[in-house]
Amino acid sequence: MQKLLINGKKELSGKISISGSKNAALPILAATILSNQVKLTNVPLVRDIFTMVELLKFIGLKINILKKKNTIEIKNINKKIKTLAPYKLVKTMRAGVLVLGPLLAKYKKAKISLPGGCAIGTRPVNLHLFALKKFGAKIKIKNGYIIAEAKNGLKGTNITFPNVSVGATENAVLAAFHASGKTILDNCATEPEVKDLIKFLNKLGGKITILGRKILITGCKKIKKNINHEVIFDRIELGTYMIAAALVGKKIIFNKIDPTVIKNEINILKKMGVKLKTQKSTIEIFKSKNIKKINIETNPYPGFPTDLQAQIMVLMTKANGISKIKENIFEKRFMHVPELNRMGAKIKISRDTSLVYGPQQLNGAEVMATDLRASVSLVLAGLVAEDETIINRVYHLDRGYEKIEKKLRKVGARIKRVYR
């Protein structure tokens, strides 16, 4: 079993490179079902990406991964396509459900296993199915599978989502790409990752426009060939390392990013007393003392992301006073709290809100990761803690963070992976 060993209290200094966004790459990979030939660059080579690649290969796409270049080449030239996403390939990754829209749109049928992924709440697919039914699809759930059919093809429609959902928005956009006529989606997610998917689909021949929380789509009749697309940077990875820099950094530099994408997170760090400087494509974070308490709520973009909730909580343990964080997106997303408390944090949970009492000195301990973002919060805690921290179940970490030990060691962290 793999574990991470971290010896904390080591000041970090240098440059940390930010990978491409996993949450942008996954729906774009699903969208290649609609394409003929595509080259994707800046793809993070993490476990969820490899799982999606295996799923697309199973469906019938030909895929070549150029690992040294973080590039994936995809050809959809197989006439014998399987419109099936089996349990064994979907059970560990929620993004597997994103092949439902494109398979249904292009091949008029799909059978998709109900998805797995992180244990941070039910995260139901009901909004995905709600949208696809509006396009005219007939859907039933049987034996753990979503079975969908649209014998006469999908028809353009108007859909207003009752709640903002990134995955449902992406699946609806993918379905609408090949639907006849025009589609208007309202109350949509407008995350940068959704916008990157739309940018890719427009390169493919789509006619898709974003107006606030509305997305307007005209069904595509002709697919363009030989498409190249560079995946956007991972704003959650950037936010994670920015918090690491605020905790134990002397001077950490991030290049080739767009600070405007995470301006809300930057403003929150500034309010907490973190010293930083932004330029057009660079962020620098300097040694920060006297961290201030703050109250935060997670919300859909451009609000504070739920995927940084666990990480900012570690910084709150160093703040002067009581900080509060309210989780509005997912239930059960405080599973990292007992582990942080084992390390000396003082955090109290009341339903969807946590109170973080600071400042507290964290101490190394053996802890267990419960999901992707929870696992990286334990890494951050280990970096600032006294003595050695041992993190178990790091396979959660490998789902979304590329070369995390290498990146942290490069700036001075004492971190290593062991097999025992």
CA atoms within 13 A on the CB side of 215: 34
How many Å apart are CA 265 and CA 80, to the nearest integer?
A: 46
- Does the pLDDT of residue 117 top 80, yes or no? no
CA–CA–CA angle 8, 359, 378 (5° rounding)? 40
Task: Copy the structure tokens of residue 313.
Answer: 């909580």
Nearest residue to 247 (alpha-carbon basis) of 71, 30, 11, 407: 11
The pLDDT-based confidence of 119 (bands split at 50, 70, 90) is very low
The pLDDT-based confidence of 118 (bands split at 50, 70, 90) is very low
**Does residue 99 or residue 122 have the better pLDDT?**
99
Nearest residue to 329 (alpha-carbon basis) of 372, 350, 370, 299: 299
The pLDDT-based confidence of 1 (bands split at 50, 70, 90) is confident
Mean pLDDT of the chain: 95
- Does the pLDDT of residue 337 top 70, yes or no? yes
Least confident of 39-53, 119-133, 264-278, 358-372: 119-133
The pLDDT-based confidence of 116 (bands split at 50, 70, 90) is low
Least confident of 106-120, 148-162, 243-257, 390-404: 106-120
254-260: average pLDDT: 97
Number of other CB atoms surrounding residue 334 within 10 Å: 24
The pLDDT-based confidence of 122 (bands split at 50, 70, 90) is low
pLDDT for 331 equals 80
- Does the pLDDT of residue 273 top 70, yes or no? yes
Nearest residue to 318 (alpha-carbon basis) of 376, 384, 374, 375: 384
Catalytic residue, candidates 118, 368, 379, 397: 118
Distances from the Cα of 311 to the Cαs of 80, 292, 368, 374, 401, in angstroms?
45, 16, 15, 8, 14
List phi, psi (to 5°) of 380: -60, -40
220-236: average pLDDT: 95
Assess whether 118 carries a catalytic annotation.
yes
pTM, full prediction: 0.95
**Does residue 96 or residue 210 have the better pLDDT?**
210
Least confident of 109-113, 215-219, 334-338, 368-372: 368-372
Nearest residue to 32 (alpha-carbon basis) of 9, 67, 63: 63
Domains of the chain and CATH, by start:
22-230 (3.65.10.10), 234-419 (3.65.10.10)
The pLDDT-based confidence of 210 (bands split at 50, 70, 90) is very high
How many Å apart are CA 296 and CA 200, to the nearest integer?
A: 33
166-178 helix and 22-31 helix, angle to the nearest 10 degrees: 30
pLDDT for 120 equals 43
Per residue in 151-192, pLDDT (tens digit) is: 999 999 999 999 999 999 999 999 999 999 999 999 999 999
> Is 16 within 8 Å of 410 (Cβ atoms)?
yes
